[in-house]
Amino acid sequence: METTTIRVLGAPTIVRDGRAGVLAGRRHQAVLTLLALEVGRPVDADSLIGAIWAGDPPTSARKTLQGLVLRLRRRLPEGAIVTEGSSYRLDVPSSAVDAVAFGELVDAAQAVPPAAALERLEQALGLWRGVAFDELTSDRFTIERAYLDERRRLAEEDRCEALLAVGRVADAALELERLTKEEPTRERRWGLLMAALHRLDRQADALRAYHQVRDDLLRRAGAAPGPFPPIVEGAGARRPEPAAS
């Protein structure tokens, strides 16, 4: 039985029976991506036109859209794009769209014990292959991308919390050191890093992290960070000794 997957967590791609084909051309990518994000729901032609041409469509926009849909239909299984009046609907299982599968896995991770949560979160994060539909810059895609990016960041943090819960503390610390460097203003990452460092008996490093984030937030926003693990808060008044050179 033929399987089809639509990938948008990266360059928009159609995968049929394991063979991946990245879509060339922003217009084709825009149509596929918007239909995929709304999988199972009709998307009217005006919304597609607005997403393709960012509010400045040519007079031939509807005819061009019809041609784009026709070419996409040739890349997809028969009946995958359904016409409903002036709207189009992607008629594939919602889980066949990687962005939907990602959200479902992240949601499922909230309702299971840490080991199972870790498995689901790693599956979810493994669906990402780069910046989501990064060549698409209309307002609609910018908003959707920001939403997905924030869910990815939260999932990364949830994964680290699950690593701590199952006792993989060193793995959590290593990942959190990377994540705090990547986005130093996300306080939750620092709190988890401090907890991991404390559990590894690296109190000096935990204190150093505390003062680093506190000083950075005071400099950037004029406000101290929120509460951190008590073991760190209780020692927060003390500066750690400088690292040995």
Per-residue pLDDT tens digits for 149-182? 999 999 999 999 999 999 999 999 999 999 999 9
Is the CB of residue 35 less than 8 Å from the CB of residue 43? Answer: yes
From first to last of the 245 residues of the chain, give the pLDDT tens digit: 568 999 999 999 999 988 999 998 999 999 999 999 999 999 999 999 999 998 789 999 999 999 999 999 999 999 999 999 999 999 999 999 999 999 999 999 999 999 999 999 999 999 999 999 999 999 999 999 999 999 999 999 999 999 999 999 999 999 999 999 999 889 899 999 999 999 999 999 999 998 888 888 777 766 666 666 554 544 344 444 444 44
How buried is 198 (Cβ within 10 angstroms: 0-12 exposed, 13-18 middle, 19+ buried)? buried
pTM (2 d.p.)? 0.87
The closest of 26, 27, 5 to 16, measured between CA atoms, is 5
**Calpha distance 123→13 (Å, rounded):** 19
Q: What is the CA radius of gyration of the chain?
A: 23
Q: Which domains does the chain have, with CATH numbers?
A: 4-93 (1.10.10.10), 167-245 (1.25.40.10)
For residue 214, what are its two tokens? 């506190």
**Calpha distance 64→49 (Å, rounded):** 9
The pLDDT assigned to 241 comes to 45
The pLDDT assigned to 235 comes to 39
Task: Order the strands of the 4-7 sheet from edge to edge.
Answer: 4-7, 13-16, 19-22
Q: Which residues pair with 83 in a beta bridge?
A: 88
The pLDDT assigned to 17 comes to 87
Q: What's the 3-state SS for the chain?
A: CCCEEEECCCCCEEEECCEEEECCCHHHHHHHHHHHHCCCCCEEHHHHHHHHHCCCCCCCHHHHHHHHHHHHHHHCCCCCEEEECCEEEECCCHHHEHHHHHHHHHHHHCCCCHHHHHHHHHHHHCCCCCCCCCCCCCHHHHHHHHHHHHHHHHHHHHHHHHHHHCCCHHHHHHHHHHHHHHCCCCHHHHHHHHHHHHHCCCHHHHHHHHHHHHHHHHHHHCCCCCCCCHHHHCCCCCCCCCCCC
The pLDDT assigned to 243 comes to 47
